[in-house]
Amino acid sequence: MGTFKLLATDGSARAGELHTAHGTLLTPAFMPVGTQATVKSLVWDDVKAMGYDLVLCNNYHLYLNPGCEYIAQMGGLHKFMNWDGMILTDSGGFQVFSMATLAKIKDEGVHFRSHIDGSKHFFTPEIATRAQELLGSDIAMVLDQPVAPGATYQQTKEAMDRTHRWAERCKACHTREDQQLFAIVQGGFEPELRRISAETLAEMDFPGYAIGGLSVGEGKALTWSNLEACIKYMPEDKARYMMGVGSPEDLFEAIDRGVDMMDCVLATRIARNATLWTSYGRINIDRPIYKGKDEPIEEGCDCYTCRTFSKAYVNHLFRNKELTAYRLASIHNLRFLKRIVIGARQAIFDGRYSEYKKAFLDNYQVVNEKVRLDQKQRYLDRKAKEQA
RNA sequence: GGGCAGAUGCCGGAGCGGUUAAUCGGAACAGACUGUAAAUCUGUCGCACUCAGUGCUACAAAGGUUCGAAUCCUUUUCUGCCCA
């Protein structure tokens, strides 16, 4: 395969490029999530303008609605949603996990009920793979089984072993040459199992590898220790995709540990709930303190929202539940992550990743509104001093 | 001028003799959100304090009935509808 090219390293951090049927991804990379063949509230011009060329769509959701056969008839997912960039589809394994009350997992596959109408469905590795081939995504994921924090060792091992067997079955039935199939490392919160999972899957020789089942409520310490437990056993010459991460600070931590790709709904979800990222931390733009603030969300931000509108205006849109608010906020947050990742790549090439990370984290604080304002003042003071 | 209906916390609107500082919405305020069942969810929401507790003041106003009233009676004020 050899679709991934490692171009530079700085400590564990990596810069590279991943070649796909619809373009080349520069890594480290973050991908916006467009579950239902759309990044919520955005159009592709927005996504492209932010610099993104790879988005994630969801096999489970598209399988239920409008159906993968249907999308194939419509000319495939790229044509259907009219996106000429790269697409990665998640298999639906995560949905099986997060909607566990609706699912019954057996070795053959997963019996589950649709969250939409309660209808019964059966998902197997073969069906999940076939569905993604119908969609025609550039990167498909194997069907996997994550476990929740608090799962026993035995439960974790069973889910991991099943994930391995399923990975093998996905690989065996996968035929599309213009689509790469990535395996997913599991092993829950058992470092030993994480290692075994990485080693086992590495032997199966997939074109790319993901780390799944992390950042599902286990706490940061466990997230990073379990990432470390497996990533060093993953092939160096293949892309490493950490699923479901992250926040700005998480991006830095993941890249620092050798992750090449990430995706996360957080940026767009919290944006729709009026939380915006800035260099000094999160702000809730719908709060009354932003009334009358005739300044951009973040001074110097190059996103469309910051170039065009004031805090006061975005505040007004949110307070009145105007639909444009969701779009403007999503644009800001996604561009914020994109800039982090662009900077990270450059810093890795320049051999100064740890300084880059430190500079960001020194300013960025996850705190409440009042402390946040103090933090902002300190940030601005520091900036002023630097310039003087 | 006469008849009927009604006045409840920021707003709307339940309750119609006692577990009522008062159901439920909305607004407001705050918190959460990490491979999207999320334009969602959670908490607070009369006032004051030594705040998982205590004390005040409360259902238009005044008076009355009752052990006990937002709930029953009387009068007053205001609002809506109908008849002259």
Q: How many domains does chain A have?
A: 2
| Strand B near-CB residues (< 7 Å), A 14-33 | 33
Please provide residue A138's backbone torsions phi and psi, each rounded to the nearest 5 degrees.
Answer: -75, -35
Higher pLDDT, A379 or A349: A349
* Å between CA of A85 and C1' of B74: 81
Burial (CB count <10 Å: 0-12, 13-18, 19+), residue A343: middle
Among A219, A236, A264, the domain boundary falls at: A264
Assign A1 a pLDDT band (cuts: 50, 70, 90).
very low
Is there contact between A98 and strand B, defined as CB under 7 Å from any strand atom? yes
Assign A373 a pLDDT band (cuts: 50, 70, 90).
low
Asked if A160 and A250 sit in the same domain, the reply is: yes
| Strand B near-CB residues (< 7 Å), A 297-356 | 319, 321, 323, 326
Whole-complex ipTM: 0.90
**Alpha carbon distances (Å) from A203 to A167, A187, A197, A235:** 12, 16, 10, 9
We report the CATH number of the domain holding residue A10 as 3.20.20.105
Q: Which domain holds residue A55?
A: 4-264
* Helices and strands (H and E) in chain A: how many: 16, 16
Asked if A80 and A115 sit in the same domain, the reply is: yes
AA letter at A132: Q
Assign A378 a pLDDT band (cuts: 50, 70, 90).
low
Contact A138, A131 (CB under 8 A): no
User: Which whole number is the average pLDDT over A187-207?
Assistant: 98
Asked if A245 and A284 sit in the same domain, the reply is: no
Assign A96 a pLDDT band (cuts: 50, 70, 90).
confident
Asked if A179 and A77 sit in the same domain, the reply is: yes
DSSP string, A325-385: HHHHHHHHHHHHHHHHHHHHHHHHHHT-HHHHHHHHHHH-B---HHHHHHHHHHHHHHHHH
Asked if A199 and A294 sit in the same domain, the reply is: no
Asked if A284 and A260 sit in the same domain, the reply is: no
| Strand B near-CB residues (< 7 Å), A 216-275 | 216-217, 220, 243-247, 250, 263-266, 268-270, 272-275
Terminal-residue alpha carbon distance, chain A: 52
Nucleotide nearest to A38 (CA to C1'): B36
pLDDT given for residue A200 in this prediction:
98
Q: Point out the catalytic residue in the list A90, A250, A260, A286.
A: A90
What the block records as the tokens of A13 is 């951090």
Asked if A116 and A177 sit in the same domain, the reply is: yes
Rounded distance, CA A364 to CA A70, Å?
45
AA letter at A166: W
Nucleotide nearest to A99 (CA to C1'): B37
Rounded distance, CA A44 to CA A50, Å?
10
Contact A344, A28 (CB under 8 A): yes
Asked if A179 and A241 sit in the same domain, the reply is: yes
Other beta carbons less than 10 A from residue A99's beta carbon: 14
pLDDT digits (tens, 9 = 90+) for A135-153: 999 999 999 999 999 999 9
Q: What is the pTM of this model?
A: 0.92
Assign A367 a pLDDT band (cuts: 50, 70, 90).
low
pLDDT digits (tens, 9 = 90+) for A301-349: 999 999 999 999 999 999 999 999 999 999 999 999 999 999 999 999 9
Contact A353, A28 (CB under 8 A): no
* A90 catalytically annotated: yes
Asked if A108 and A159 sit in the same domain, the reply is: yes
Among A264, A297, A331, the domain boundary falls at: A264
Assign A365 a pLDDT band (cuts: 50, 70, 90).
confident
Among A223, A244, A264, the domain boundary falls at: A264
* A138 catalytically annotated: no
Asked if A40 and A55 sit in the same domain, the reply is: yes
